[in-house]
Amino acid sequence: MHPYAIVTEASCDLSPERFASLQVLVVPVPLSINGKQYKGVSLEQFYTQLRAKAVIKTATPSPEDFIHVAKPALQKGQDVLYAGLSTTLSGTFQSGRIAMEELKQRYPERQIISIDTLCGAMGQALLVEMAAKARADGKSLQETADLIEANKTRVSHYFTLDQLEYLSRSGRLPSFQARLGDILNIKPILKLDALGHFQISTKVRTYNKAINRLYEKVIEKAVELKNQVVYISHADVRAAAEGLADKIRLAGAREVVVTMLGPAIASHFGIGGIGVAFLSNTR
């Protein structure tokens, strides 16, 4: 048994099998699909509903959801490192922090550290994998927490999407701009800034050019690509994601991990969304 548990949310884009192999504890993200509430919906079910144009809304896990996941580790004598979704993307981290403070009161003999990763999706996955590796290498809870704090603002995230209507649905883009952008085949390149906010980095014409721009960002900003694991997440467009991954591998990346975007991001991006995350000097 590890001396400490690592806790994160399902917004971290790793598969259930990968979470299990890393021995990372996962808090499910509640979903509403056409008004019906769910927890722990499979990605296959989610994307079937997304393609069917279902009305999908994500919700914030409750503090009790976090307590339910973390408490058994504390009961077994483990400490806890909670690496949460950026506060600027969701209220999830606030809920998780409330839970961790409650658990500190219940288990004062245990050490519990909460980190706002300022990341999401594949960027959050990068940091969680980093934490799991540090733990496997024998680093203490505090050493691992310090490592994540030191690297979280070095994680660059870039995204593009194929259908602007989803940004309009979520209130992130006026509907007339979304319609015009789709007519003109304009694809935004979005990034997360140093505080974890979405920003438009640039805009290009056509989806293929947008994906190529993601590749260019990796080449331009990644530090020592040959030593890096680059993370790609996609919204049910595996062929496009694998094509991007192949180019990054040919450019010399040590490893490229391809996963599917979870509901927390994909419900706002729609089918065709793709994101890439990697370590850079600054975002």
**Residue 277 C-beta-side C-alpha neighbours within 13 Å:** 29
4-21 burial: b if 16+ Cβ within 10 Å, else e: bbbbbbbbbbbeeebbee
What's the pTM value of the predicted model, to 2 decimals? 0.93
Angle at 276 between CA 58 and CA 25, to 5 degrees: 50
- Torsion of Cα atoms, 125 then 241 then 172 then 114, to 10°: 0
Angstrom distance (rounded) from CA 12 to CA 8:
7
Report how far residue 162's alpha carbon sits from residue 177's, in angstroms, rounded to the nearest whole number: 14
> Do 95 and 66 form a contact (C-beta atoms < 8 A)?
yes
pLDDT at 169 over 80: no
Residues 241 and 165 in one domain: yes
Q: What is the CATH number of the domain that holds 91?
A: 3.40.50.10170
pLDDT at 25 over 70: yes
Above 80 in pLDDT, residue 167? no
The number of domains in the chain is: 2
Which range marks the domain in which residue 211 is found? 154-279
pLDDT at 129: 98
Which pLDDT tens digit goes with each residue over 43-90? 999 999 999 999 998 899 999 999 999 999 999 999 999 999 999 999
- Average pLDDT for 162-168: 76
Mean pLDDT calculated for residue range 103-132: 98
Q: Report whether pLDDT(232) > 60.
A: yes
In terms of domains, do 84 and 104 share one? yes
- Predicted confidence band of residue 34 (pLDDT cuts 50, 70, 90): very high
Contact indicator for 24, 130 with CB cutoff of 8 Å: no
Average pLDDT, the chain: 94
53 and 185 inside one domain = no
CA distance 267 to 145: 30
Concatenated DSSP letters for 244-270?
A: HHHHHHHTT-SEEEEEEPPHHHHHHH-
Residues 39, 42: Cα–Cα separation, whole Å: 9
Q: Are residues 253 and 126 in the same domain?
A: no
Report whether 41 contacts 106 (CB < 8 A): no
Average the pLDDT over 107-124 and give the result: 98
Question: What mean pLDDT comes out for the span 205-221?
Answer: 98
* Residue 249 and residue 166 share a domain: yes
Residue 201: exposure state from Cβ atoms within 10 A (0-12, 13-18, ≥19): middle
Structure tokens belonging to residue 206: 């056509």
pLDDT at 163 over 90: no
Query: pLDDT band at residue 41, thresholds of 50, 70 and 90?
Result: confident
Whether 277 and 237 have beta carbons less than 8 Å apart is answered as no
- 92-106 and 63-75 helices cross at what angle (nearest 10)? 40
Least confident segment among 118-122, 161-165, 266-270: 161-165
Cα dihedral 53, 59, 64, 70, rounded to 10, equals 80
235 with 195, same domain: the answer is yes
Average pLDDT over residues 189-193: 95
Percentage of the chain beyond pLDDT 90 is 85
Q: Are residues 158 and 273 in the same domain?
A: yes
Domain shared by 25 and 36, yes or no: yes
Cβ pair 134, 104 in contact under 8 A:
no
Q: In this structure, are 148 and 20 located in the same domain?
A: yes
Comparing 6-10, 34-38, 98-102, the range with the smallest average pLDDT is: 34-38
